[in-house]
Structure 1
Amino acid sequence: MQGFTRGIFLKGIIASLWEFSDPREIPVDNVFILNSTLTSLPEEIKSCHEAGKRVFVHLDFVEGLSEGRAAIEYLKSIGADGLISVKLSNYHHARKVGIPLVLRVFALDSKAVEKAYQQVKANGVEMVEILPGCASLKVGPTFKELGINVITGGLVTTPQEARKILKVVDAISTTTRELWVKGKI
């Protein structure tokens, strides 16, 4: 799929960072910055780029940053390659600004999954992250039917779990460093 995402399609393992660490020590190509501050984020993005990483920023967790179009324009201007949010309104702003956004959805129960699926389908969302990761075994194929980039994250801690999950989704975002392996896990 190649829409406003500019051909970005996330595959394999994505390093998720709640606390920023040296990107030169991260062996995978994609990084999700899940927590940062307005003042430290530009340098974090720069460090990731210098290490050859693609960087997605969870805009809902950047301290000092509000939501909306201006926030998204700012994140694009400082070099974020993409964004992450749980808010559909941020997806629409990102689309207008021209930066990819991974919409996080929570698979809490069948009603939540159905609502998320309908929102993703109706709004043309191109990248979705299903949380928690173990739920993707059940609902990942449903989202894959939409022809979109399906990522999962949360509670995936072993190589065995990761291998099983990667059979039904495109990528796994994880804080578990043992899973940060380039290529086959």
Structure 2
Amino acid sequence: MVITSDQFYVIPSIREIRHLTHALTLHSDFILLSECHIGNLKNMVQMCHKAGKKVIVNMELVGGLSLDKIGIKLLKQFFNVDIVIGSSPSKINMGKSVGLTTIQLITLLDSKSLETSNKLLSESKADIVDIRPGILGVKFLDTFKMNHNGPFLTGGFIDDFESIKAAKRAGFNGVSTSNRALWK
């Protein structure tokens, strides 16, 4: 089960552990663990897998994890994470080399970050691209499609159903959101 270009996904982003149990009952195939650390990650991944969910983590936000080759291998081999997100093409490529599905994170702030992100994307071997925040992702998706022909996600400020519809209309393959009312 991998994020594909022929479906649209609403991916619950778990920012508080207490919301994980609810997210595991949903029809989503994926769970984004936004707030985790090396002390709770393994247990959270096991819970997700037991519920038939694939686990996504932003490797840069896993508390206590070193982002060297060993740390990235641990995500795959010890913690059993399925998919990693990161902003560094070299870390994404490292994740890919150890067998992880990878998501290149693009954060848009201004026109300079748009230009820089497009250059970085050409260096990345990521399976998926995540453009944030959502409102800018919708506006600039076509720019990034010139450098990546796989699936695209967006997140950040996805706070109502209209944001989800706009992402779908723009051509995204899914959104991540911590807004529990949108996890349906």
The answer to whether the superposition gives a TM-score over 0.5 is yes
Long gaps (5+) in structure 1: 1-6
Q: Which residue of 1 aligns with 2:174?
A: 171
Tell me the C-alpha RMSD between the 2 structures. 1.6
Kept in 1, the 8 Å contact 2:87–2:104? The answer is: yes
Q: Which string of whole-angstrom CA distances, capped at 9 and with x for unpartnered residues, describes residues 80-121 of structure 1?
A: 111111222211211211211212111111221121112112
The yes-or-no answer on 1:129 pairing with 2:126 is no
The alpha carbon displacement at 1:26 in A equals 3.3
1:76 paired residue number: 76
**Residue identity opposite 1:179 in structure 2:** L
Task: After TM superposition, give the deviation of residue 24 of structure 1 in Å.
Answer: 2.8
What is the SS of the residue equivalent to 1:124? coil
User: Secondary structure of the residue that 1:167 maps to in structure 2?
Assistant: helix
C-alpha distance in structure 2 between counterparts of 1:126 and 1:144, whole Å: 13
User: Hey, what does 1:96 align to over in structure 2?
Assistant: 97
- Identify the range of structure 1 (138-147 vs 45-54) with the bigger mean alpha-carbon deviation: 138-147
2:15 counterpart residue number? 18
1:126-165 correspondence to structure 2 within 5 Å: 126-145=127-146, 146-165=148-167
Q: Is the 8 A contact 1:83 1:101 kept in 2?
A: yes
Kindly indicate whether residue 40 of structure 2 is the aligned counterpart of residue 44 of structure 1.
no
Q: Is the CA contact (8 Å cut-off) linking 2:152 and 2:173 kept in structure 1?
A: yes
How many residues are treated as equivalent by the alignment?
Answer: 175
Q: TM (normalized to structure 1)?
A: 0.87
1:99-155 alpha-carbon deviations (Å, 9 max, x no partner): 112121111112211211121123333311111111111111222343121110000
Overall identity of the aligned pairs, in %: 26
Amino acid in structure 2 at the alignment position of 1:40 = N
Gap regions ≥5 residues in structure 2: none
The 2-side partners of 1:125 and 1:43 are apart by 27
**In 2, are the aligned partners of 1:143 and 1:150 still within 8 Å (CA)?**
no
| Counterpart position of 1:4 | none
Letter matched to residue 9 of structure 1? I
In structure 2, what is the equivalent of residue 9 of structure 1? 3
Instruction: Report if the CA contact (8 A) 2:107-2:132 is conserved.
Output: yes
- 1:3 aligned partner: none
Kept after mapping to 2: 8 A contact 1:35/1:58: no
Question: Kindly tell me: are residues 123 and 87 of structure 1, through their superposed partners in 2, closer, same or farther at Cα, counting changes over 3 Å?
Answer: closer
1:15 Cα deviation (Å)?
A: 0.7
Task: State the AA in 2 paired with 1:49.
Answer: H
Secondary structure of 1:14 counterpart: strand
Judged with a 3 Å threshold, the aligned counterparts in structure 2 of structure 1 residues 40 and 122 are, in CA distance, closer, same or farther, namely closer
